[in-house]
Structure 1
Amino acid sequence: MQEKITNEKLSIRRIFTALLLLMAVYGSAQTYEFENGTRTNNADIQNCDSCSGKIVGNLGGNSSVSVNVTVASTGWYNLQLFYCTGDPRTIRLTAGSANAIAIPCDPSGGWSTAASKNLSVYLNSGTTTLLWDNPNSWAPNLDKFVLSPINSSNLQTISFGNNSIVYNLGTKTYSIKFNGNTVIANASAYANSDQQYVSNNFGTAVYTSESFTDNIGSGTKHIFTLSGNYSLGMQQIFYTYSNKNYLAVQVVLTGNGSNCYKMSPLTSYEVTPNFGSGDTRALFVPYDNDAWIRYNANPLNSSDFTASEVTSIYNNTNRKGLAIGSVEHTKWKTGITVNGGGASSAYVSVIAGWTKKEVTRDTRGHGWVNVGQTSCPSPKIIISANDDWRVGLEEFAQANAVMQPKYIFDWTAPKPIGWNSWGAMQTSINLTKAKSVVDFFHDDCPAFKTEDNTLFIDLDSYWDNMSDAELAQFVTYAKSKGFKAGIYWAPFVDWGKYNRQVEGSSYQYNQCWTMVNGNPFELDGAYAMDPTSPGTKARIRYFINRFKTAGFEMVKIDFLTHASIEADSFVNYQIHTGMEAYQEGMKYLIDEINGTMLVQAAISPNLSTGPFVHVRRIACDAYASISDTDYTLNSTTYGWWQNQIYDYLDADHVVFGNASLGENRARLLSSVVTGTVTSGDDFSVAGAWKTKAQTLLQNNDVLNTARNEMHFLPADGNTGYNAANIFSATKDNVTYIAVFNYTNATTNNTINLSRLGLSSGNYNVKELFSGTTSTIQSALSVQLPQADAALYAIYDTSTLSAPNYNWAIASTNYIFPNPASNAFRIKFENPVNSESTVSVYDTGGKVLLKKTIFVEDEISSEIPINGLAKGVYMVKVSTAGKATKNFKFVKQ
């Protein structure tokens, strides 16, 4: 009996011991060495003195390592990964059948020096294979990983609309759900000050909430206050708006000495938007429009970039999208890192305090923010999920516009249209040539005007070929013809790059240069000037006063990126970042302009320029070739949403030159699609561009489209580094469709109208360059020759009515040029495709010239009048099936 009892006790003891062992395995940390895993192809085991044992190296491409893990319960687990790498590399983790997770690894200090990072992984109970690879590139060497269960019992759920934030008070991480789907999982925050403060490592988190109102709207501010384990505190803040489907996140470091140079309110290894099948993309957004930089819609699974201020992850097939971006740009430069783990998942980190030479143009790190203060907040970051990624980016832009409202005066005049000298005239500006351009538009191309019957004639760089007296003469002459004169200036650069006295001041240039790493900062061949320097400001006052005295009504400001550079220091010692300096310099410039000029920005930061100008150039230095049009429209395809921030966007000068008619159509249409039209040829000298301008820049239907206050959207966002070929806009129940062919071969497009938001039914169609009309039902078929473009108006009424502008030229028949010296042409109100008889009479009614011409479209060929004496003549034009038209003209 005693033996039986003893055996029972032993059995119970063995069971208890086994349970303790199981609890040790399943309920606490488990360590897995990678050298014990299963390797493929070239993956090998290497020595590592600083590691726990061996390491697995030569990972990447088709070489991987997999490790089986066993857990008792389904749920989230913390995974601490130990790795070695001498340069930035990424490893990808796939847990069973789950989406792959991309894990960017910063340099650890060497190939056998270990570092670690923490992430969260969701595991099912039992055994799961963890596959570690990187099919796109080389991966770091791997030492080990440690798994430990996450206590999920301490969750704070915050609902807004059909969405929610789930904050884990234990791990200090959060997840975001849109319409019930977890889009962002286990996101953490960090701040770099005297050390790196990481939300996960704080001891405790306490939740409070309060009402708030900002420029976007009102709602609830949800605050998680973190303390313990650090000398400073942290707050993770979430802003939910009562009337918005999106939220904003922010991190704040608190306490004496809490100034920062780098912060992240959102870093997550598991951004899984749940878009379904289709073509999923992630958008690289540049910081500015310098150096022919382009947007890039990368396939998500191969994405590895940091976008400036905003990105969108979206499915081009069904258009669902996730937008993440900063809406505050007064102190920080912000980057959004996206590293694709697969077709439907990504690592995303929002980094306030990001610089990169190829993107932000900086050659040193970001400056410190809130020096000497007791708290340091990151910018607010908007996160939104939408059924249409394009709507998400426009919502983001609208939030930017209200969060940083206009500092410049409101533009209430119609959309500006004009000419700029840099397109072709460039360095050869003089008074005679400038006045000749005015004459060309007034006499030879009179329909090319704004809605309020004017043009902006803008002298670009090298305007200083002219004296101040000549500049004033030019302004007066332009006004006498009904036009407005514009001028160009780069307020924050020194092209001279040698020491001398600053114009309008007693300062020397070397007192004003922006110093970086002990030397003047040079970009684009010019030294940057410190925007906070009194010498820089005196120079601004001097030049702006010259422009105002001459009477200029428009100024194009250029090379503004120079004003935003991170510097060793600034003359204003209270400023420490490039964005703070930019704000001070731009405010001073706009104060000096004082509401007297239309202000256009050329090379400039995308978002921080919004409060200070009316027009921003979407891309810079594009000319007549179809490749230039593709470059310009790449920026329009993926950056069109900036039209919600600026009054207008501009596609740079429209240069026709000696390019083909198709390339000319495409170049003009690129400007119509982007926003404003700025002609760029040298109309002071003879050339093919004059005839092309007289045709293309006087097409009523195209110009009416250009003058309209409407915004074109790209039909698709799957073109990567290039431009979309279809854009559409709707105004007054008319849908306008712009179609481009950037190739050297004929293209055929079948455009599904439902993709453009049109319902099924019969529609009338007019191609606006040719005037050709037709009818369609569910699709528009477009065949385009090489390097060409077309613009269609689709409507369901019997006629396409033209806007009723306040001036007559665009909707009537007329002769131009008038007066004429050698020849004139006839502009018809509507397209003509037949023979016409042109008769010229003297004032006594005698026929002096009679000519039969065949007219195609709205503008006739030239009618030579060399043989006529100077004087006044009458012209009668008889067109088959049309009423007779009578004109009067003057022979010079």
Structure 2
Amino acid sequence: MRFIPFLLFWLCLKTTTAMAVGEKDSVVHIPFGKNNVIQYHLNSGTWDVLFNGKLVITGAYFTYKGEKEITSTEIGPGKRRAVIESSKYSGGIIEWYHDDMHIKQVFSAEVGKNYFTTRLIVEGKHVAAGYSSPLTGARIVLESTGDNRALAVPFDNDMWARFDAQPIQQANFTSSEVLALYNNVNYQGLVIGSLSHDIWKTGITVKAIDAKSAALTAFGGLADNKITHDNIFHGKVIEDDTICTSPYILVGLYDDWRNGMEEYAAANKGNKAQGIAKWEKPTPIGWNSWGALQTKLTIGKAKDVVDFFSDSCKGFRTADSSLFIDLDSYWDNMVKGGLDGDIRQLKEFVTYCKSKGFKPGIYWAPFVDWGKSDRKMEGSTYSYTQAWTRQNGLPVDMDGALALDPTHPGTKARIAWCLNHFKKLGFEMIKIDFLGHGALESDHFYDPAVTTGMQAYHMGMKFIDSVLDNKMLIYAAISPTMATAHYVHMRRIACDAFSAIDNTEYTLNSTGYGWWQSHLYNFVDADHVVFNKESEGANRARLASALVTGTLITGDNYAEKGPWSKTAMRLLQNKQLLEVIKDGRSFRPVDANTGNKGVNVFIKKVGIKTYVAVFNFTNNPLKYTLSLTRFGLDPSTKLMVTELFSGNNTNWSDTIELTVPPSDAMIYSY
């Protein structure tokens, strides 16, 4: 579903301008979904939402902050211009005329869907604004009592950011792009999120009222040092010099909030055509050098790793019998004098990798300057200093690198020069990193038509895709969560994770609360899986964290023999374990009430088969008592289940009790 074109289409449909309902009290009723309705109070400028006859949202209004701040509660009664009716779509428009400005709040919905979208459009002279909210100051009331949660979603996966499922009565935060309010016992919940990421950074603020309700505002204009890494205000938005449009905000209530998050992801995916061709090949699996080799990467060690998988780990393959062997940062140890210098070793690696039937990969960061000095940009007549992104007049230093303006011709020339070299060398995968540097706000961008960080990011990512021309698997590492999906095939779910059990716990915080991204990207993965010298249990847990995320990239130093080699030969060649990721989808959380910690219990259904994964991140045995109803089954069901690591069979019925050893994991199938 693509909302922007449909809205233009709707205006051509038959409309009715008479108030069919609520004329006496000046209330406009806009129905949507199954027995749901938006009630717009024209006199007060506020609106409520009833889902299935129950009041869930009350007192919402709009806020616009341009040269002046305007709210719908202050500028007097609005009027309904139209309620658009058709067999498939419905919606409504409320409009105002104020100080030479034409203001419209647009509501739209697809018949049969339990969500609607809303946006604010301000037309006139001098209407550029860095803040626009079609949903301000709403009181959200959940019907369910008990374990109600508010989920904070980070803007990106940088600096080991975490999701946080806070008890509603403690909530006081700003979530990035999307927010869920839900009950962990019966799964009922509300999902509110942005469907547009090319212009605005969207925030959803929530502040507790009590254990069942909270105050909420969804707005375009999020720019925060901790959340988005910005030290200046969000750029001002203007289209055609006369229009400022807020983000599209989706609002939906669901019997299962997990369905809502997946539908939100799917709506985002359908709202814009993917910039690259869909990945039609099997789920990617392979190896990445940053897991263990890191700065010690050499041509000899890279070839030894290829030999390990070719000779000693033949069962670890994609469904089309290949592997991705990815050289991460410090692949330049293999070149002398840069990519236009002596690249014979890099060519040798590519040739050797392909001779074994594997696919060579490489790493690059398109929007950063690690050198931080005044020198010529590769493939360009510009210097790096000319292309630096600046905030308050100063270059932006983040993660140890300076940010580059994606709209600058020097940045573009450098991207084209480097990526074309990688293509000519024969690489079939590229891991692109530190992409968030390209989404930073700036005092000004080289392209005067670009005024916001997300516009610049969109331009930069679109250019990368045009240069790569669908010749590689594109894997995003550190990157904005929502805005990256249309430009890459695969995204790392979190930040760097290695072998220790706390790394597994950290990863499963992001997978447990961000699993829905596998409905947004072709694949998400748990970063390089490193076994090292950890216990067997910790190794099982680390591998399981990748399997529940959906793909498998390993990362030990297989150029040398060690306990990790034997672990890899045993675990990575287990056909039943590899079968878990055949569909490339993430598991869902069973319980999502762990705050900012990792989720412990996951479930995934693939056809007639169901997988359940259970984790223990502690140093003591952990006992779980679970009803089959948590898996969507009748408690009278009797199951024969297999634990995949051990191969042991057991029977489940009604209430099951599981004990997971310290720092360990189990995966069951039935």
Same fold (TM over 0.5): yes
* Cα distance in 2, alignment partners of residues 212 and 359 from structure 1: 40
Alpha carbons of 1:328 and 1:218: their partners in 2 closer, same or farther (altered >3 Å)? farther
Give the CA deviation at 1:413: 0.3
Partner secondary structure for residue 64 of structure 2: strand
Q: How does 1:226-375 map to 2 (within 5 A)?
A: 226-228=96-98, 230-274=99-143, 276-370=144-238, 373-375=241-243
Partner secondary structure for residue 738 of structure 1: strand
The answer as to whether partners of 2:512 and 2:598 remain within 8 angstroms in 1 is: yes
Q: Which residue of 2 is the match for residue 434 of structure 1?
A: 302
Give the CA deviation at 1:204: 3.3
For structure 2, which runs of at least 5 residues remain unmatched after alignment? 1-22, 336-342
Counterpart of 1:764 in structure 2: which amino acid?
M
**Residue 54 of structure 2 corresponds to residue 178 of structure 1:** no
- Specify the structure having the higher radius of gyration (Cα): 1
* Cα distance in 2, alignment partners of residues 412 and 240 from structure 1: 31
Q: How does 1:697-712 map to 2 (within 5 A)?
A: 697-712=572-587
Counterpart of 1:774 in structure 2: which amino acid?
T
* Cα distance in 1, alignment partners of residues 172 and 659 from structure 2: 37
TM-score, scaled relative to structure 2: 0.94
* Cα distance in 2, alignment partners of residues 589 and 678 from structure 1: 23
For structure 1, which runs of at least 5 residues remain unmatched after alignment? 1-150, 795-892
The answer as to whether partners of 2:28 and 2:41 remain within 8 angstroms in 1 is: yes
The answer as to whether partners of 2:119 and 2:249 remain within 8 angstroms in 1 is: yes
Partner secondary structure for residue 507 of structure 1: coil
**Residue 617 of structure 2 corresponds to residue 739 of structure 1:** no
Does 501-510 or 777-786 show the bigger shift?
A: 777-786
Counterpart of 1:786 in structure 2: which amino acid?
P
CA deviation profile, 1:666-724 (whole Å, cap 9, x unmatched): 00000000011000101001211111111111112111112334431000111001111
* Cα distance in 2, alignment partners of residues 476 and 531 from structure 1: 33
The answer as to whether partners of 1:321 and 1:389 remain within 8 angstroms in 2 is: yes
**Residue 27 of structure 2 corresponds to residue 168 of structure 1:** no
TM-score, scaled relative to structure 1: 0.71
Q: Which residue of 2 is the match for residue 188 of structure 1?
A: 61
CA deviation profile, 1:558-614 (whole Å, cap 9, x unmatched): 000000000000110110000000000000011000010000000000000010000
* Cα distance in 2, alignment partners of residues 708 and 532 from structure 1: 37
**Residue 434 of structure 2 corresponds to residue 565 of structure 1:** no
* Cα distance in 1, alignment partners of residues 534 and 172 from structure 2: 38
* Cα distance in 1, alignment partners of residues 533 and 85 from structure 2: 59
Q: Which residue of 2 is the match for residue 391 of structure 1?
A: 259
Q: Which residue of 1 is the match for residue 338 of structure 2?
A: none
Counterpart of 1:298 in structure 2: which amino acid?
Q
The answer as to whether partners of 1:766 and 1:792 remain within 8 angstroms in 2 is: yes
Q: Which residue of 2 is the match for residue 460 of structure 1?
A: 328
CA deviation profile, 1:854-873 (whole Å, cap 9, x unmatched): xxxxxxxxxxxxxxxxxxxx
* Cα distance in 1, alignment partners of residues 83 and 37 from structure 2: 17
For 1:604, which of 474, 479, 482 is the aligned residue? 479
**Residue 44 of structure 2 corresponds to residue 158 of structure 1:** no
Partner secondary structure for residue 527 of structure 2: strand
Give the CA deviation at 1:152: 8.5
User: Normalized per residue, which structure has more strand?
Assistant: 1
Q: Which residue of 2 is the match for residue 766 of structure 1?
A: 642
Partner secondary structure for residue 368 of structure 1: coil
Q: Which residue of 2 is the match for residue 198 of structure 1?
A: 71
Does 695-704 or 419-428 show the bigger shift?
A: 695-704
Q: Which residue of 2 is the match for residue 630 of structure 1?
A: 505
The answer as to whether partners of 1:278 and 1:318 remain within 8 angstroms in 2 is: no
For 2:668, which of 792, 795, 805 is the aligned residue? 792
For 1:422, which of 285, 290, 307 is the aligned residue? 290
Counterpart of 2:60 in structure 1: which amino acid?
A
The answer as to whether partners of 1:765 and 1:792 remain within 8 angstroms in 2 is: yes
Partner secondary structure for residue 706 of structure 1: coil
Give the CA deviation at 1:371: 5.8
For 2:275, which of 407, 413, 417 is the aligned residue? 407
Q: Which residue of 2 is the match for residue 537 of structure 1?
A: 412
The answer as to whether partners of 1:297 and 1:721 remain within 8 angstroms in 2 is: yes
Counterpart of 1:631 in structure 2: which amino acid?
Y
Partner secondary structure for residue 577 of structure 2: helix
Q: How does 1:610-689 map to 2 (within 5 A)?
A: 610-689=485-564
Runs (4+) off by over 4 Å:
210-213
Does 341-350 or 238-247 show the bigger shift?
A: 238-247
Q: Which residue of 2 is the match for residue 725 of structure 1?
A: 600
CA deviation profile, 1:317-353 (whole Å, cap 9, x unmatched): 1110000000000100000000010001111001210
CA deviation profile, 1:765-816 (whole Å, cap 9, x unmatched): 111001111222223322111000011112xxxxxxxxxxxxxxxxxxxxxx
RMSD: 1.5
The answer as to whether partners of 2:44 and 2:77 remain within 8 angstroms in 1 is: no
The answer as to whether partners of 1:259 and 1:375 remain within 8 angstroms in 2 is: yes
* Cα distance in 2, alignment partners of residues 231 and 330 from structure 1: 28
Counterpart of 1:776 in structure 2: which amino acid?
W
The answer as to whether partners of 1:335 and 1:352 remain within 8 angstroms in 2 is: yes
Counterpart of 1:260 in structure 2: which amino acid?
A
Give the CA deviation at 1:270: 1.6
The answer as to whether partners of 2:59 and 2:139 remain within 8 angstroms in 1 is: yes
Counterpart of 1:769 in structure 2: which amino acid?
F
Does 380-389 or 703-712 show the bigger shift?
A: 703-712
Counterpart of 2:89 in structure 1: which amino acid?
G
Alpha carbons of 1:241 and 1:414: their partners in 2 closer, same or farther (altered >3 Å)? same
* Cα distance in 1, alignment partners of residues 77 and 625 from structure 2: 59
* Cα distance in 2, alignment partners of residues 706 and 411 from structure 1: 15
Counterpart of 2:506 in structure 1: which amino acid?
Y
* Cα distance in 2, alignment partners of residues 538 and 353 from structure 1: 30
* Cα distance in 2, alignment partners of residues 439 and 571 from structure 1: 47
Q: Name which structure has the greater RCO, CA cutoff 8 Å, separation 6+.
A: 2
Partner secondary structure for residue 666 of structure 1: helix
* Cα distance in 2, alignment partners of residues 576 and 773 from structure 1: 60
Q: How does 1:99-114 map to 2 (within 5 A)?
A: none
Give the CA deviation at 1:226: 1.1
**Residue 351 of structure 2 corresponds to residue 482 of structure 1:** no
What is the aligned length?
A: 639
Partner secondary structure for residue 207 of structure 2: strand
Counterpart of 2:363 in structure 1: which amino acid?
Y
Q: Which residue of 2 is the match for residue 443 of structure 1?
A: 311
Give the CA deviation at 1:518: 0.5
The answer as to whether partners of 1:184 and 1:268 remain within 8 angstroms in 2 is: no
Give the CA deviation at 1:751: 2.3
